[in-house]
Amino acid sequence: MQQFCVFGNPIAHSKSPLLHNATFASLGFEARYGRHLLSESSALAHTFFALKLQGVNITVPFKEAAFAQSDEVRGIAKEIGAVNTWVLERDRIIGYNTDAQGFFMCVQGWDMRTALIIGAGGSAKALAFILRQNGITTHLLNRSSGRLQEFARNGFTCFTSDEFDSTHAYDIVINTTPAGLSDESLPLESTRLCEILSRARYGFDLIYGKRTPFLQLAQNLGLQTSDGAQMLINQAALSSELFSFGAIGFKDALKCMNALGL
Ligand code: NDP
């Protein structure tokens, strides 16, 4: 039986085993999907081969290390510099990024030309590149400057919270920080965030499983909002198609995963 897994730290909370095992069972694909807590990014490829896996999802904080340890990287992951999916193909590790497309599928029908991403971590990278690839002018705002430098080198307009002039207007504002995940904090000081959101049409938070203060504020200001649950499902369904070399179709996987009602 083929074996799949998710690598991360922490990993106990991951919904990936639930999503993939339900899909495998429902579509009659002979495979099992587990989770593995990793402490060292240097152990990624070694662990992948030691566990005899056919494929793996990689989550926080190992997506950049997984990019570096891939034998080949395909698609938009080459630009992003981070991969969340590995597939074993003729004994070589092939890396993909399904977060980017998974996110974009959520907002595809939305009428937007400009985006502000709050946060500058791994997920912000995936979003910035896919938004730009789709013709959406994308700016980044982060509390500190360090991680913004790579975005600036890639041609994105970047601001630290201190530099940001909140008179800028954006169609969509996206929270990619963990602010609000395990507390009730906002990713940015409340008055300035209100100013930005009051000129926007859409608010998106990558966090799922709770209505964050960011999403609540956006909703109170009349914006159309979405949390990260559908993005999680979309990226998993895309990974499932890659894991099975197309034996599991994206639409069938999506149907199974959506039926779980996350
Ligand atoms: P990273 O750790 O790579 O980056 C986090 C970013 O958020 C950094 O820029 C950091 O700033 C900033 N930040 C951290 N804490 C705060 C805070 N309290 N206030 C303001 N800014 C803060 O994380 P990821 O990009 O990998 O993930 C971010 C979030 O997205 C997580 O909550 C994760 O669960 C979620 N996620 C959801 C997915 C989905 O499918 N729905 C997929 C991937 C991620 P600094 O640079 O100053 O440290």
pLDDT tens for the 262 residues of the chain, in order: 999 999 999 999 899 999 999 999 999 999 999 999 999 999 999 999 999 999 999 998 999 999 999 999 999 999 999 999 999 999 999 999 999 999 999 999 999 999 999 999 989 999 999 999 999 999 999 999 999 999 999 999 999 999 998 788 999 999 999 999 889 999 999 999 999 999 999 999 999 988 999 999 999 999 999 999 999 999 999 999 999 999 999 999 999 999 998 8
Phi, psi of 119 (to 5 degrees): 110, 155
Helix count and strand count (H, E) for the chain: 11, 12
With a Cβ cut-off of 6 Å, ligand 1 is lined by 60, 99, 119-124, 142-144, 146-147, 176-179, 181, 185, 187, 206-208, 228, 231-232, 235
Residue 205 DSSP class:
E
d(CA 233, CA 1): 24
Compute the distance from residue 62 Cα to the ligand 1 centre, in Å.
13
Q: Which of 84, 143, 148, 158 to mutate to test the pocket of ligand 1 (most atoms within 8 A of CB)?
A: 143
Compute the distance from residue 91 Cα to the ligand 1 centre, in Å.
33
Residue whose CA is closest, atom 23 of ligand 1? 121
Amino acid code (one letter) for 230: Q
Residue in the block written with tokens 């930005």: 196
pTM: 0.95
Q: Contact 200/169 with Cβ under 8 angstroms?
A: yes
The dihedral through the CA atoms of 54, 234, 212, 138 has a sign that is positive
